[in-house]
Amino acid sequence: MPKISNKGNSMPESPIRKLVPFAEDAKKKGVKVFHLNIGQPDIKTPEVALNSVINNNLNIVAYARSEGSEEYREKLVKYYNSKNIDVSANDIVVTTGGSEALLFTIGSITDFGDEIIIPEPFYANYNGFSTANDVTIKPVISTIENGFALPDISKFEKQITNRTKAIIICNPGNPTGYLYTKDEIEKLAKLALKHDLFLIADEVYREFVYDGLTHHSVMNENGLENHAILIDSVSKRYSMCGARIGCVVSKNKELIATVLKYAQARLSPPTFALIASEAALDTPQSYFDDVIEEYVERRDTLIKELNKIESIKVSKPKGAFYLIAELPVDDADHFAQWMLESFNLNNETIMVAPASGFYSTKGSGKNQIRIAYVLNKESLIRAVEILKIALNIYKNK
């Protein structure tokens, strides 16, 4: 029988999706599952985006340009300019989601055996993207005790070798909700310049910043023009996860030209999704004001309820819509599966994402879970009630 590649065998399972079969089995048994495992907002997609597709009268769904339509990229420029990010349409390559943007970027800047430094916990698919490109992640661990703030910059420097090509951050962070300060971004920028590294910032949650704080983009750093790479997506901003439209943004012309070659090899991003994404840029600010207010209320409700459970440790997110909770269990993977497979409370249970999959350091995050607060407040309160009773039963079984 032909063999699967070592690279294929090394591809990690998604901690977000690997428990789906157990959730589906639970539903078949009549159990209601509260999904706290995946960042799929229940917020309605903007009408302007939906109507652009519903009312479209295309006769042929043709290929788009590999880099995305000029109209969309020009509108993106206006959007970025409104965020004080000075770029042109030629600095942007549109991709099929932020995931493809990361795959193309890592493929463009690394060779076999190269290394990328990432503060962990980090978005789980960074593991997969790195494995797909035969790249090694060199982690720098952040901790729940200080809300997953950027570790001391000396710890990053200790990880730098002659194979290091880049540092990746997610800002605000998935899975932690941490928002990097201007000082932290400046420290990373100085390190990237000192060692001639790329600084890649996954900023797909840029709009979701709370408590009067401000988002600081790597694209705003002076002198970093040839080092900064911005990864973006419409998925979370406009609650358009299924549209699969993202982009790579950089003023490094050689990088953009290389990413474009990858984009040409996969032909083009999806035409109708491009139309919807272009229209979504006309979404009024009031939409985001309402969404942010809702997420703040959900965050505060969730933390309040979690803090009622003895021995749980929670970090308070400053952005995005995730948090990490540390549980009084030894193996959160087993506990998460058990809640779907062997437990329910009045025919209800919850699905969470075990946090170990958001680390690359073996053994880290084993007693942590990521919770996405993408459900309404009533559902979050009920989900935490279920979690509390599940923990009590699990610890005493």
Whole-number pLDDT of residue 16: 73
**Chain position carrying tokens 């990373």:** 188
Q: Considering the entire predicted model, what is its pTM?
A: 0.96
Q: Could you give the CA distance from residue 389 to residue 383 in angstroms, rounded to a whole number?
A: 10
pLDDT at 178 over 90: yes
Residue 188's closest CA among 197, 179, 175? Answer: 197
CATH number for the domain whose boundaries are 47-280 = 3.40.640.10
Q: Angle of helix 377-396 relative to helix 285-306, nearest 10 degrees?
A: 30
> What CATH number belongs to 6-44+286-396?
3.90.1150.10
Q: How far apart are CA 120 and CA 156, in angstroms?
A: 12
**Over residues 148-160, mean pLDDT:** 98
Residue 176 and residue 317 in contact, taking contact as beta carbons nearer than 8 Å? yes
Across the range 114-124, mean pLDDT stands at 97
102-134 b/e (C-beta count within 10 Å ≥ 16 → b): bbbbbbbbbeeebbbbbbbbbbbbbbbbbbbbe
Q: Is 374 helix (H, G, I), strand (E, B) or coil?
A: coil
Pairing of strands 228-233, 198-202: parallel
Q: How many CB atoms lie within 10 A of CB 331?
A: 14
- Domain borders along the chain are 6-44+286-396, 47-280
pLDDT tens figures, 329-387: 999 999 999 999 999 999 999 999 999 999 999 999 999 999 999 999 999 999 999 99
Residues 276-303 have pLDDT tens digits of 999 999 999 999 999 999 999 999 999 9
pLDDT at 386 (0 to 100): 98
